[in-house]
Structure 1
Amino acid sequence: MQLMSEERVTSLDPVFGPMGIEAGKAIWSDTALTMREKAILLITADLCVPELGLPFELHVGMALGAARMPVEHLRELLRHIAPDAGMNIVAMGFAKLTGIIAEQGLPSSSVTPARERGAQDGEQAGEQVYDDATLAELHQFDPQFADDVDRISRALWHRPGLSRRERCLATFAVNVVGGTLGAPFAAHVALCRDAGLTKTELHAALRALAEFSIPKAWQALIALHELWPQRRATPTNGES
């Protein structure tokens, strides 16, 4: 398949350029995840590295083009990952995204200030996102922090624009690229499973995220294997 502005990548270096194009084609040609889902993974990872130059521009271009993501859905992605990826870098991401969409003559947002005020006031806060055990453990360490995690997740995870599955993939990407493979990763893998994501699909996500660091994707693959319930062998000869 043809990637966005392949010549910009190949012109960087005669060896690296083709290597980068090959990696990109492998990601975008993988059918285990949708084009939207892969765009979500890559743009999230860009913010976490952080990298707001050529890769971010190309990934946003693929999201708007091949994945047919509306601008508002891209903005919603940045809102969703802001608490996990970091408010400061996401603010820079919004600035960069605004410039990209202005160059393409697209509207910057379809959300009215009144609707956003309602969300900020908590009117659209939804049901609990993290399970009781996760929040209880956090509460033992710091009750206010646990309350903040619960409040922020309720406000963000039920907003329109992204599916629960897409939000899980974005959060998964934050963990992998950030190397956060302890309790937060375990909680987010559980959310992925609850959203219907399979181990095969998460493996595809890791292959895409390996573009940002093979060692980090490698470690995450091992952590995922340890967290994922293993299928029990079929009993034979009367064994149980």
Structure 2
Amino acid sequence: MTAITPPSGADVATLDAMFAQMAVATARHADELSGLTDREKVLLRLTADVCAQALGHPFELHLRTGLKQGVTTADIRALLRLISYDSGYHTASAAFDRLAELETTLGLPHPDTGELPAELLTSGPDAPPTPLPDPVRTTLAQLDPHFLDYFDLQSRMRTPTGPGTLTVRERAFATMSIDIHYQTLGDTFRIHTQRALGAGATIDNVRDVLRFNAQIGATRVWQAWKAFHVHAAEAGWDLG
């Protein structure tokens, strides 16, 4: 096993002891949730780091936690490729740069990454079919045909049968978290929540995604809860 070097940067307790207490209590409260796996919790924290560009101590801490729990840097790379769709390629690029730096610092192997088939990189009328659901494509076409073509391309490059190591449930939870962070709580939040439910997640699992994300911003999650209940009423989700 590769020896892991001590964390870089100052320990939070040395910066402000009271804040460190607050942070530990908050993380403990979130980690007590039983509806998410330890792996999913790591992926959600890293997703929040990328969205906020908190790529210093928080990203390193969450990476180290993930390594201890069996999450690999290949898994994290798959996460970054997935969320670049919604977080933006510029934020994902910065996270890839930080990840590569930490791989070197921690003495971790740099995973080999395959390439997508060329046909998945094409766009326009001759491109392969997209996995986007027809109702979503109809909505996007009404907004702008070029934007629809962009979504088709992005979805094609992220087909669940393509490169990557994340489950559909993990992918759905990550994209739900992006919606919470960026407050895109309309159509996309509903679609991503429905995708999680379709992948076998229960309503309580979905609730735990919202509960867990309170640590990235309680007021943002407050708004997400309101949107969740509206979507549930409209979609007929059984809230128990």
| TMscore range, shorter length | 0.7 to 0.9
Paired AA for residue 45 in structure 1: A
1:73 to 72, 75, 82: 75
Structure 1, unpaired ranges of 5+: 234-240
What secondary structure is seen at the aligned counterpart in 2 of 1:210? helix
Residues of 2 paired with 1:29 and 1:94: CA distance? 30
- Name the count of aligned residue pairs: 223
Given the superposition, is the C-alpha separation of residues 171 and 232 from structure 1 closer, same or farther in structure 2, using an over 3 Å criterion?
closer
* Match of residue 124 from structure 2: none
> Is the contact between residue 45 and residue 177 of structure 1 (CA under 8 Å) also seen in structure 2?
yes
Which residue in 2 is equivalent to 1:188?
Answer: 192
Residue 22 of structure 1: how far off its partner (Å): 0.9
Matching residue of 1:122: 120
145-154 vs 12-21, which deviates more? 145-154
- When residues 154 and 54 of structure 1 are mapped into structure 2, their CA distance, relative to the original with a 3 A threshold, is same
Report how far residue 10 of structure 1 moved.
2.3
Identity of counterpart residues, as a percentage?
Answer: 31
Q: Which amino acid aligns with 2:35?
A: A
Q: What is the deviation of 1:19?
A: 0.5
Match of 1:236 in 2: none
Give the corresponding residue for 1:145.
147
Q: Kindly indicate whether the alpha-carbon contact (under 8 Å) linking 1:42 and 1:208 is maintained by their aligned counterparts in 2.
A: no
The two structures have a TM-score, normalised by structure 1, of 0.85
Pick the aligned partner of 2:84 from 79, 82, 85: 82
C-alpha distance after superposition, 1:65-103 (max 9, x if no partner): 12x112111111000001210111111101111111211
Give the Cα separation in 1 of the matches to 2:78 and 2:177.
Answer: 16
In 1: Cα distance, 2:119 partner to 2:173 partner: 27
Measured in 2, the distance between the counterparts of 1:122 and 1:11 equals 49
* Separation of aligned partners in 2, 1:232 and 1:210: 20
Note the residue ranges of structure 2 that are not aligned, 5 or more in a row.
1-5, 122-126
Q: Tell me which amino acid in the other structure corresponds to 2:21.
A: P
Aligned residue in 2 for 1:107: 109
Q: Which residue of 2 aligns with 1:176?
A: 180
Q: Among 48, 51, 54, which residue is 1:51 paired with?
A: 54
> TM-score, with normalisation over the residues of structure 2?
0.85
RMSD: 2.3
